[in-house]
Amino acid sequence: MTFLQRHAYAIGCWAAATLWPFFVKRRRISVENILKCKVAACEADARRIAKKSFCHFAGHICEALFASKVVNEANWREHFDFSDADPEALDLLLERIDTPILIVSGHHGCWEAATHIIPFRRPMIAIARVMDNPILRRWMKKHSFRGSVTVISKNNGLNAAVLEQWRRERSALTILSDQHTYGGAMLKFFGRPARTVTSAARLAMRFGVPMVVGSFVRTGPYKYRAVSGKPLFFSKDADRNEATQLINDRLEEAIRKYPEQYLWMHRRWRDD
């Protein structure tokens, strides 16, 4: 690795730590979220977690810029630790590639990391934010910021063509479920009311596909650990809100293990 590749995360963290005092509003939102979610027992600890979270976000983005240059099809297993992942979930992700699956995660750990390994085993579709600026959009595509993956704008949603591609290619369809939505269901996340998209549960119920909920957390330079529970299966007549609540609970469980790697500064809770 080059010097810049090896130290990309540290450079991002340093820049974020320098700028942190100027992000007064985001700092306040982060600390409030951490305290209300009972992740920290006191304000001093909440401020520490909030700052680490902000630095991790910047470091992760900087490191992701070079991930495709460092992690490749020949060495990816050297960069990923699966010891904390459920064996059945791991089998679905990387071995049983003859069936479409759902991956549900959030703004936790290195959410871009999966886009650099799963496509080595099976096609992948990600519902994500697509940059409005065409220059940035072309730059991200050229530099494989999100790996070899089909990115569908979250503004366009899951149309019939995307669903057909997912099932035809037996892809891994990835959804970030912790984004605020003005629709969805009012459910609990860290014990607090939060509007939650129900699309992942609806798809699992409709098509009978398995779902893996979890995260990839960073443990070192281009080193990531998979954190997941057992796969979820929902019947066609399952209760949609109960299924989505279970997804929230699973994601919360992963975040509580590594709270410093969650994006606490985003306004996930807007109704409490």
Report the mean per-residue pLDDT for the chain.
89
DSSP conformation class of 197: -
Residue 45 included in any domain: no
The number of distinct structural domains making up the chain is: 1
Cβ contact 245:201 at 8 Å: no
Record the pTM.
0.90
> What are the tokens at 143?
């530099």
Distance CA 215, CA 105 (A): 6
Domain boundaries, position 107:
75-258
Distance CA 79, CA 220 (A): 9
Beta strands 150-153 and 124-128, pairing class? parallel
Residue 153: per-residue pLDDT: 72
Distance CA 191, CA 165 (A): 36
Query: pLDDT tens digit string along 203-221?
Result: 999 999 999 999 999 999 9
Residue 11 included in any domain: no
Residue 180 included in any domain: yes
Instruction: Return the H-helix or E-strand segment holding 125.
Output: strand 124-128
Which regions of the chain are under pLDDT 70? Answer: 129-148, 154-157, 271-272
Residue 141: per-residue pLDDT: 58
Residue 119: per-residue pLDDT: 87
Residue 216 included in any domain: yes
Residue 130: per-residue pLDDT: 59
